[in-house]
A and B are shown apart, each in its own frame.
Chain A
Amino acid sequence: MKRSAFAFAALIALTGSGARAADDGSAILTQRCAGCHNLTGPAPQTLKELWARKAPDLFYAGNKYRAEWLSGWLVKPTLIRTAGEFYADHIRSGEKSDEVDPATLEAHPALNPADADAATQALMRLKPRDQLIAAETIESGSISKSMGEMAFDKFLGCMACHEVEPGYGGASGPELYTAARRLQPAFIASYIRSPQAWDPKIWMPNKHVSDPNIQKMVHYLAELAKEPGNAK
């Protein structure tokens, strides 16, 4: 018993302040985030559950986000999902087409930097989808913006739902001009390969994008995220 207590104390000492911050972060997640975000899974299994979702699931946040982006965004949140979540609850008839009703979108609360760091550390521990991430190999490489855009818009049709620059593209999916700053490359690849593997009822279809095109899209999004005009 004494020995195990000693080992436990040593473990605490070794893991140090990082673990403490993550524990503080877990408390923040429970108190301030769990009201809107699903922190435990599973993802919605029915449309009624999907419609009830108020914000992105975070139970696989550690498989999805880049920590450095997450901690910054939590201090100064910006709108990522142009039409909010669930999108159909935030649209109205417009003059030329349906349009987003901005009055129905709620701004994400901002955290102070210390809380944002702690919450980020706790979120980055949530990694139940390591296997999906491990199945992806991201090749080094690049693609010109024009070639990437041609594939994105014309060959794959992603622009139907996603913006690739502020004010250009669809609104029902998250904007993608900052995607590479927000998301881990392997997550981007895995999600394109099968959105349903992450979120069975999501309104993004599986387009059976080929491996070379998945690589192209990862590189294209990295290229987009470099643009100073898209900096947030």
Chain B
Amino acid sequence: MPSKRSICIALALGAGLAVSASAKEPARDNYRTYCTQCHGKDGNGKGINVRDMSVQPRDHTDAKAMSGRSDDTIFKVIKEGGQSIDKSVLMPPWGDTFSDEEIRDLVAYLRQLCKCTYGASP
């Protein structure tokens, strides 16, 4: 028969785990962890994985190319992968890695990297 105190501790631990596992990470940290492997540590599309790729990853600092994609399209390609917008299978779906909120933050972060908005490059 567990004591009230041990139940209380167990609940607190459980709640702590649940929160930490789903806590929102800053877009910059998510980008560093998941995106730079292909898009490069400087966001220029030249990550450590690109050498043998048949389709090169998007250069996120390319304002012209990035301004050609709407925020909704960028959201979709991050969540569902390249094939969801008829692009490369090499861009995987990240829907099991990021929450929708984290993806929205990433879209905003990409707009900082390209210094651009949809339909208007500087």
Interfacial residues, chain A to chain B (CB-CB below 8 A): 42, 45-47, 50-51, 83, 87-88, 91, 93, 96-100, 154-157, 159-161, 168-172, 194, 196, 200-201, 203, 205-208
Contact = CB atoms under 8 A, between A and B. Distances in A.
A161 B88 CA distance: 14
A159 B37 CA distance: 13
B2 to A, nearest CB: 22
A199 B72 CA distance: 29
Contacts of B6: none
15 contacts: A50-B33, A87-B37, A87-B48, A91-B36, A91-B48, A96-B51, A98-B40, A98-B47, A98-B48, A157-B91, A169-B52, A170-B48, A170-B53, A205-B34, A205-B92
Interface in B25-44: 25, 29-30, 32-34, 36-38, 40-42
Across the A-B interface, the 3 shortest Cβ-Cβ residue pairs? A170-B49, A172-B37, A206-B96
| B47, B50, B93 interface centre (most CB from chain A within 10 Å) | B47
B46 A46 contact: no
Contacts of B90: 157, 160
B7 interface: no
Interface of B: 17, 20-21, 23, 25, 29-30, 32-34, 36-38, 40-42, 46-53, 81, 88-97
Contact of A98 (B30, B46, B52, B93): B46
Contacts of A154: 89
B96 A45 contact: no
A5 B77 CA distance: 64
A98 B43 CA distance: 11
A161 B49 contact: yes
A159 B92 CA distance: 12
Contact of B48 (A42, A47, A99, A200): A99
Contact of B92 (A87, A169, A207): A207
The B interface is mostly helix, strand or loop, or mixed, namely loop
Given A45-B20, A196-B97, A91 B89 contact: no
A172 B37 CA distance: 6
Contact of B20 (A46, A96, A172): A46
A171 B50 CA distance: 9
Nearest to A205: B92
Given A99-B48, A157-B90, A160-B53, A196 B96 contact: yes
Contacts of A155: 89
A47 B21 contact: no
Contacts of B48: 83, 87, 91, 97-100, 170-172
Given A46-B25, A87-B48, 13 more contacts: A83-B48, A91-B41, A96-B46, A98-B41, A157-B91, A159-B52, A161-B38, A170-B49, A200-B21, A201-B33, A205-B34, A205-B96, A207-B93
Given A96-B46, A171-B48, A208 B21 contact: no
Nearest to A83: B48
